[in-house]
Chains A and B, each alone.
Chain A
Amino acid sequence: MADPPALARIQFAVTTTFHFLFVLLTLGLVVLVAIMQTRYAITGKSEHRRATRFFGKLYVVNYALGIATGIVMEFQFGLTWSGLSTYAGDVFGAPLAIETLVAFFLESTFLGLWIFGWDRLNKWVHLALIWLTAATAFASAFWIMVSNAFLQNPVGYELRDGVLRLTDFGALLRNPTLTDAVLHLSSAALATGGFFVAGVSAWHFLRRTKDIVLFKRTIRLGLIASTVGMYGVISYGFEQYGVLKNVQPAKVADPDDLPALTDRLGADNMPPGWIHVPRDVMVNMGFTLALVSLVALLLTIGNLVVRLRFPLVVLLVVVPVPFAAAICGWLLREEGRQPWLINGVLRTADGMSPVGAGSVLASLIGFSALFVLLALADWILIARLAGRGPEPEQAPAPVREPAIVL
C-alpha cells in the first residue's frame, strides 16, 4: 500500500467521494428549489417563498463544500496524474476544460447573483437565475461524464507522436458509455434531492410543526421527485448492462463467471474480485428506495403519510441511503475499470506523476483530515438549519443598505 500509485488512487478516491456527496445533493436540490421558486413567482403565495428560502439556504450551505472540494479535483490531474494529462490531455482535458468554463465558472456566477438578488432583482430575472444555475449544474455533470466515459471506453482519438490526439469530438459525445450513465446519474441526483426534501419535511411533521401547508407541499414535491428519479435510476442503470457486456464485462459479470472471464481476458486485465459487491449493494438499495418512495407518494393521498406517522420515520431514516448507493455506483464504475486508467490504452500505474510516496501520503492525510472536518461542520450546520425550519414571514422591504450576504 505504500507505493505512490496506490496512495494517489486512495487520495483521488477520498477527494472524489467527498466532492460527490455534496454534488449529488446540489444537483438534485437545485431543481426542487427552482420548482418551489417558480410556484412562488406564479402564485405569489408566501409558503412557496418561505419554502424556497428555507431549502435554498440548505442548498447554498451544501454548495459551498461542493465548490471547495471541487477545486482540489481539478488540480489533482496535474498534481498526481500528470501521466494522464501528458499522454491523453488533448482528448480527456477538452471536456474537462469546457466543464470548468461553461459550467463551473458560469454556475457560480449565476448562483452568486441569485443569493444576493433576493428582493433586489426583478422577480422573473431572479427566477431565471436559479434555473440557469440548475441548467449549468447539469451541464457540468454532463461534461464531467464525457471525460469519464472516455476513460471507460476511449473513442475519437488517434495515437500520434507518442500522445493521444483528438480526431473526432462528436465521437466523445456519442460514446455509448456516456448517455445512459448521465441519465442514471441525473436521476440519482433528482431522487437524492427528493428524499432530502421529503426527509426534512418529515422531521418537521414529527416535531408537530405549525407550518402544515408549507411542509405538506414540500413533502409531496420531494416524493414526486424521488419517485420519478428512482424510476430513471433503475431504468438507466440496467440500460447500461448491454454496453458494459462488450466494453467492461467484469463490471456486470456474475461472481461465478469471473474465473472463465479471467481466463479469456487475462488476470492482469481484471478488476478486483469483489467488484460485484458494491454493484449488488447499490442495486438492492435502489429497489428499496424506489419502493419506499412509491409507497410514501401513494400515502400522500388523504395525507396518510403524516397521519400514520410511521412513514415519516422511514422517510427520515432513508435520507442517507441514496448517498451510500451513489458511492457504491462510483466504486463499480471506477474500480471496475482497473487496472486501466484509460480502458485498454493506459494503465493506472503509468498515469502517475513522478511524485514520491512520502509527498502523496502527506497530502492524502492533509486533504482527508480537512475534508472530514469541513464535511462534519457542514453537515452539522445543515442539520441545525434544517431542524430550525423556515423563517417566519415578513414583508419584503425595499433594501437601501448594502446587503450582507455573508
Chain B
Amino acid sequence: MTTMWLALLGFLFCGYLALAGVDYGTGLLMRVLATDATESRRVLGAAGPVFLGNEVWLVAAAGVLFGAFPRLEGDLLSGAYPVVVATLLGVVAFTAAVQLRSRRPEGRKGLWDGVILLSAATISTGWGAFVAHTLGGSAVGQLVCGTTLLALVLVHGSAFLAVRGPVRARAARVGRVVAPAASALVALAVFAGWPWQRVAHPAFALALAVVLVVLPLAARSLLAQHRFRLAFGATAATLVCAGALVFAARLPVTAAIAATPTLTVLTWFAVPVVPIVVVLQAITWWTARPGRVFW
C-alpha cells in the first residue's frame, strides 16, 4: 500500500514536471522564437490543447501529497515557505496570463507576454530551488538547482516546439545551444552539491544523476539529426529523472504516510480515475497532433 502510494505520488510529480515543463518551456521561448504577433500566437497555440491538462498534474500531486502523506506535506512546504510562495505566485500568474492573453485576439499582448516569460522562469527556477531545499542544499545549491531546472525546461520546450511548433528549425537550434549548458549545470548541481545532506539511496541517486547529465546531450544530437520526436522523448525523460532523483534521495517517508483506512478509501477513487485521466490526456495529445484529419 505504501509503495503504491509513493509510486503514484512519484508518477504525478514526474508527470507534472514533464508535461507542465512543455507549458513553461513554450512560455519561455514564445517571444524568443516568434518574429511577429501571429507567430507568437501559434507558438503558444502549439501547447494550447494540452495546456490545462498539463497544469493540473500539480494539483493532483499536491492532493495526493496532502491526502496520503499528510505529515510530509506540512514538513516539505512550510519548511520552504518563501520558495514555495514565490513558485505558487508564478504558477498563478502563468496560468492566468496564458489564458487571458489569448481570449481577445486583437488586444495588446506586450504586458501579458512579459508576465508569461517572467512567471515561467519563476516556476522553473522555483521548483528547482525547492528540490534542492528538500535535499538540504545551501542557498547557492538552491540557486544552481533552480538554474538547472530552468535550462532543462528550456531544452524540453525547444524539443516540443521542434515537434509541434510553427518554427521548428529555430526551436531546434535554440535547443541545441542550450542542451550542453543544461547538461553542464546538472553536473554542477549534482556533483558540486554532493553529498547532499539527506540522500537515502546514494547509488540509485548517482545513477540517475549520470543519466541526467547524458540525456540533454542525447537530445542535442537528436535535434541535430532532425529526429525531433526522439529528442522530445529524451527531454521528457530528463524531467522525469529529475523528479525521480528527489524520490531516490528522500525515500523512505513511511512515517509520514496516512493510516490504512484512509489509504483504502483513497485507493477506491485513484484506481479508476488516474488511468482514465491518462487515457483522456493521451487522446488530447493525439487529437492535437499537427496535420491530422479529425474524426
CB of A39 within 8 Å of the partner chain: no
Chain B hits for A167, CB < 8 A: 261
CB of A108 within 8 Å of the partner chain: yes
Partner of A399, one of B55, B67, B294: B294
Partner of B73, one of A77, A166, A402: A77
- Which one of A109-117, A211-219, A317-325 is at the interface? A109-117
CB of A295 within 8 Å of the partner chain: no
Tell me whether A405 and B45 are in contact (CB under 8 A).
yes
Beyond A82-B73, A101-B270, A109-B280, is A93–B85 a contact (Cβ under 8 Å)?
no
CB of B52 within 8 Å of the partner chain: yes
Q: Once bound together, how far apart are the Cα atoms of A165 and B96, in whole Å?
A: 38
CB of A72 within 8 Å of the partner chain: yes
Question: Can you name the residue of chain A whose Cβ is closest to the Cβ of B101?
Answer: A406
Q: Once bound together, how far apart are the Cα atoms of A377 and B283, in whole Å?
A: 33
Chain A hits for B287, CB < 8 A: 113, 116-117, 120-121
Question: Can you name the residue of chain B whose Cβ is closest to the Cβ of A64?
Answer: B99
Q: Once bound together, how far apart are the Cα atoms of A32 and B82, in whole Å?
A: 41
- Which one of B86-94, B140-148, B170-178 is at the interface? B86-94
Interface size class of B (residues with CB under 8 A): 35 or more
Chain A hits for B96, CB < 8 A: 64-65, 68, 374, 377-378
Partner of A85, one of B66, B91, B103: B66
**23 CB < 8 A contacts A-B:** A67-B52, A68-B92, A68-B95, A68-B96, A71-B59, A77-B73, A85-B71, A85-B74, A89-B258, A99-B63, A100-B63, A101-B60, A104-B63, A112-B49, A116-B288, A122-B295, A165-B261, A166-B261, A367-B85, A381-B103, A385-B104, A404-B42, A405-B49
Partner of B48, one of A64, A99, A378, A405: A405
Beyond A82-B78, A405-B45, is A91–B262 a contact (Cβ under 8 Å)?
yes
Interface residues of A in 77-108 (CB under 8 A from B): 77-83, 85-86, 88-91, 93-94, 96-102, 104-106, 108
Interface residues of B in 72-112 (CB under 8 A from A): 73-78, 81-82, 84-85, 88-89, 91-93, 95-96, 98-104
CB of A370 within 8 Å of the partner chain: yes
- Smallest Cβ distance from B50 to chain A, in angstroms? 7
- Which one of A47-55, A194-202, A225-233, A353-361 is at the interface? A353-361
Q: A-contacting residues of B (Cβ < 8 Å)?
A: 41-42, 44-53, 55-60, 62-68, 70-71, 73-78, 81-82, 84-85, 88-89, 91-93, 95-96, 98-104, 164, 258-259, 261-262, 265-266, 269-270, 273-274, 276-277, 280-281, 283-284, 287-291, 293-295
Tell me whether B277 and A105 are in contact (CB under 8 A).
yes
Question: Can you name the residue of chain A whose Cβ is closest to the Cβ of B104?
Answer: A381
Interface residues of A in 44-63 (CB under 8 A from B): 57, 60-61
The SS class assigned to the A binding surface is helix
Tell me whether B88 and A97 are in contact (CB under 8 A).
no
> Beta-carbon contacts of A231-265 to B below 8 Å, as 1s and 0s?
00000000000000000000000000000000000
Chain A hits for B164, CB < 8 A: 402
Q: Once bound together, how far apart are the Cα atoms of A113 and B266, in whole Å?
A: 26
Partner of A108, one of B45, B52, B98: B52
Partner of A78, one of B52, B56, B65, B288: B65
Question: Can you name the residue of chain A whose Cβ is closest to the Cβ of B293?
Answer: A400
The SS class assigned to the B binding surface is helix
In order of increasing CB-CB distance, the 7 nearest A-B pairs are: A89-B70, A82-B74, A97-B67, A100-B63, A405-B48, A64-B99, A78-B77
Interface residues of A in 311-366 (CB under 8 A from B): 353-355, 359, 362-363, 366
Tell me whether A404 and B262 are in contact (CB under 8 A).
no
CB of A384 within 8 Å of the partner chain: yes
Tell me whether A79 and B77 are in contact (CB under 8 A).
yes
Q: Once bound together, how far apart are the Cα atoms of A113 and B274, in whole Å?
A: 17
Tell me whether A74 and B49 are in contact (CB under 8 A).
no
Q: Once bound together, how far apart are the Cα atoms of A141 and B219, in whole Å?
A: 43
Question: Can you name the residue of chain B whose Cβ is closest to the Cβ of A110?
Answer: B280
Tell me whether B67 and A112 are in contact (CB under 8 A).
no
Q: Once bound together, how far apart are the Cα atoms of A64 and B295, in whole Å?
A: 27
- Smallest Cβ distance from A126 to chain B, in angstroms? 10
- Smallest Cβ distance from B77 to chain A, in angstroms? 3
